[in-house]
Copies of this chain bind each other. A is one copy, B any other.
Amino acid sequence: MNWWQTDHTHNPAARCWVKGADGHESFPVQNLPLGLFSDGDSGPRAGVAIGNFVLDLGGLIDAGLLPELDMLSDLLRERLNELLALGAETRRALRHALFALLTDARHRDAVAPFLVPMAHADMHMPCDVGDYTDFYAGIHHAMRVGKLFRPDAPLLPNYRHVPIGYHGRASSVVLSGTPVKRPQGQLPGADGPRFGPSERLDLELELGVWIGPGNELGAPVPIAEAAEHIAGFCLLNDWSARDVQTWEYQPLGPFLAKNFLTSISPWIITPEALAPFRERAYPRGADEPTPLPYLMDADDQAHGGLKLELGVWLQTRAMRQAGLPETRLSGGGSQALYWTVQQMLAHHTVNGCNLMPGDLFGTGTISGEADGSEGSLLELTQGGKAPITLPSGETRTFLQDGDRLRISAVARADGFASIGFGECVGEVLDS
């Protein structure tokens, strides 16, 4: 079975006996994302989101309810790296077994004891992130940001040939909800740099990509095999200090402007859950170059894209105090990715670089082409020159203390249940 094909687990008419799961905005039985949770005094362990509950995977296995998967028993504690290393076949077997248990009410009495209300569960980083790589595949983001810096040549000559990426900091990748401490650093000034807290704190709306089996050093992954190494997806907010970035980034790229914090959503949305939302890769115009063969595969071109609805939501402190809900700042679609995640992975390994289970990619900021679909305040406010006005009457160029920022992703397609990614939020602390 191919990674873009659907089966009975995608049937939108399937009914789940867990209360509130059917039609759940994020976690219906067609989703079944993986995460690491704890409740009470027990240590972190693997769980699956279903409706407003977390299903304790290790508990299910120990009770003999997943008999064909009991080899997983030792892999479900403290971190999920080893589970991701197993690849698509195991993941699909797990999905099918869980789907069977959750859609047949005869299993209710046996399985229900392993459901933990989400309100009682603490989520943890699902994996120890060995290495974190951030790409730059959102072409409209690259174009808009390029225009701010180089109005005459917004896209550099390599952009349409190379899935541009750089290494980020793994140690400061944190879970949704972690407070955002405004970074200090060197800020550009007319008479040389000055020191202080960043005055241009921004978000970047990205997808995160979890790496599965990975490859040995020196052994590139061919594009046709790349999908096998992608274990799942999450939301990723690449918090950025634009003033620090402007001053520091030449010639070796962003560093302190980015590595103070990167927030991700806790649930690993599997490639299997997203199969109905596949679409063709970014359509290249006749005037655009064809990438080199190591990046091109017919299946990937036909099915390697992902169709997701993305959103950026803001609630300021004043809004919170006035009882105003968060407001949608912008949101586009993931079709703005010029490279598929399979192309990113094939590129990353073509020189022999080794990927490890639990490594993380960011796609780069995903902005749509249209106004109102920008994935960063840098774009939304044209580099801070065009403040936006909020429902509270406040204005924003960049993030202020007390701002609570949320990014979202939902997969929708005719004839399929919608799949949500869950939350990726952060509130800017007083500085």
The interface of chain A, by Cβ under 8 A from chain B, is 130-131, 136, 156, 158, 161-162, 164-172, 174, 181, 183-186, 192-195, 217-218, 220, 241, 244, 247-256, 259-261, 289, 292-294, 347-348, 350-356, 359
Complex: A250 Cα to B158 Cα, angstroms:
8
A131 touches B161 (CB 8 A): no
A220 touches B184 (CB 8 A): yes
B161 touches A251 (CB 8 A): no
B251 touches A350 (CB 8 A): no
Given contacts A130-B171, A217-B174, contact A350 B166 (CB under 8 A): no
A186 touches B292 (CB 8 A): yes
Q: Which of B161, B217, B348 contacts A192 (CB 8 A)?
A: B161
Chain B residues closer than 8 Å to A355, beta-carbon distance: 171
> Which 3 residue pairs of A and B lie closest in terms of their CB atoms, listed nearest first?
A253-B253, A183-B351, A167-B167
Q: How far is the CB of A345 from chain B (nearest CB, A)?
A: 13
Chain B residues closer than 8 Å to A174, beta-carbon distance: 217
Complex: A170 Cα to B186 Cα, angstroms:
27
Q: How far is the CB of A150 from chain B (nearest CB, A)?
A: 9
What is the count of identical protomers in the complex?
Answer: 2
Chain B residues closer than 8 Å to A352, beta-carbon distance: 172, 181, 183-184, 260-261
Q: Which of B217, B252, B351 contacts A185 (CB 8 A)?
A: B351
Given contacts A195-B292, A252-B165, contact A351 B247 (CB under 8 A): no
Complex: A289 Cα to B194 Cα, angstroms:
12
B252 touches A251 (CB 8 A): no
Q: Which of B170, B171, B252, B261 contacts A254 (CB 8 A)?
A: B252
Can you offer 26 A-B residue contacts whose CB atoms are under 8 A? Answer: A131-B171, A156-B250, A156-B251, A158-B193, A158-B250, A161-B186, A161-B192, A167-B168, A167-B255, A167-B259, A171-B359, A172-B217, A172-B352, A172-B353, A181-B352, A184-B220, A184-B351, A184-B352, A195-B294, A241-B351, A244-B351, A252-B253, A253-B253, A253-B254, A256-B353, A260-B351
Complex: A193 Cα to B158 Cα, angstroms:
9
B164 touches A248 (CB 8 A): yes
Chain B residues closer than 8 Å to A131, beta-carbon distance: 169-171
A356 touches B130 (CB 8 A): no
> Which of A171, A252, A348, A359 has the most chain B CB atoms inside 10 A of its CB?
A252
